[in-house]
Homo-oligomer: A and B are copies of this chain.
């Protein structure tokens, strides 16, 4: 199971009861937090996200609307007596700021906080069931996107067929991962003959704050679900570029180039009260587009 829950869909200035960026990525029983604008802990309470289930936090960049809620979340976790480790992936200077905020408050977190500074594109977390990696996007300051990939699912062994072709049960685990079997009569039993394909692995990419940058399409190629920022409607493409942000149709163009299955757009400017035109404009370029709406969970 891979799903994304939007906790904040607005850009820097809170407005119209929209909040700064934060998302929960659910992969099976794991909860990952991506970005953490001011008020994220209240949004979690509102949408019944259990803080205690979050094990990894990813911060794309150090503009306040993407991290000012983090220190409050961490200290609240501490007050609640959390003991489970947290892994935090973020631009390097965040560590010093957190350390200073804890120091002046004479506070020690009761759980281990492992800080991993972002530095190179590539793998951040490797698990049996998923990989998480980061990639650079192009914003006014250093900024990172994150990609969540289910690992290729194991094939399903058909035990009757396997026995029929003389494959012993002790080889079944290797069958699951695609190996062929050489039986006692020196006959090669092709894997496909005795297994069925597993479910198709799913993937999600969060492209963070960025100017229109076609190289991002390569980095998120073929993902099942792409979140791309769309701060402005298409008529403000010059303002978007000058502030290192995108418009609706630029976001949709990246989705199209990347051949993704579905696109979510968010990070809406506070100048817009209504969001209808965001959906309409993006769909002109990429039909399978949804707006990021707070409290909504998008299943991949």
Contact B13 A105 (CB under 8 A): no
A142 (CB) vs chain B CBs: closest residue: B104
Chain B proximity mask over A89-122: 1 for CB below 8 Å, otherwise 0:
0010110110011001111000000000000000
* Interface-facing stretch out of A23-31, A61-69, A185-193: A61-69
Contact A104 B12 (CB under 8 A): no
A123 at the interface (CB under 8 A from B): no
A229 at the interface (CB under 8 A from B): no
Contact A79 B42 (CB under 8 A): no
Contact A14 B45 (CB under 8 A): yes
Given contacts A100-B97, A104-B91, whether A12 and B75 have CB atoms under 8 Å apart is yes
- Residue among B14, B71, B96, B141 making CB contact with A105, cutoff 8 Å: B141
Chain B proximity mask over A5-19: 1 for CB below 8 Å, otherwise 0:
000000011110000
Q: List 9 A-B contacts (CB under 8 A).
A: A13-B80, A14-B76, A38-B38, A38-B68, A38-B69, A93-B100, A94-B104, A96-B100, A106-B140
Given contacts A13-B80, A39-B39, A140-B106, whether A101 and B64 have CB atoms under 8 Å apart is yes
| 10 interchain residue pairs of minimum CB distance | A62-B104, A38-B72, A93-B104, A68-B72, A39-B39, A64-B75, A63-B105, A106-B141, A13-B79, A13-B76
**How many angstroms from the CA of A76 to the CA of B14 in the assembled complex?**
8
**How many angstroms from the CA of A94 to the CA of B100 in the assembled complex?**
10
A41 at the interface (CB under 8 A from B): yes
A93 (CB) vs chain B CBs: closest residue: B104
Residue of A38, A45, A91, A100 with most partner-chain B CB within 10 A: A38
Which B residues are in CB contact (< 8 Å) with A13? 76, 79-80
- Residue among B76, B80, B104, B141 making CB contact with A104, cutoff 8 Å: B141
Contact B105 A64 (CB under 8 A): yes
A96 (CB) vs chain B CBs: closest residue: B100
CB distance from A10 to the nearest CB of B (A): 11
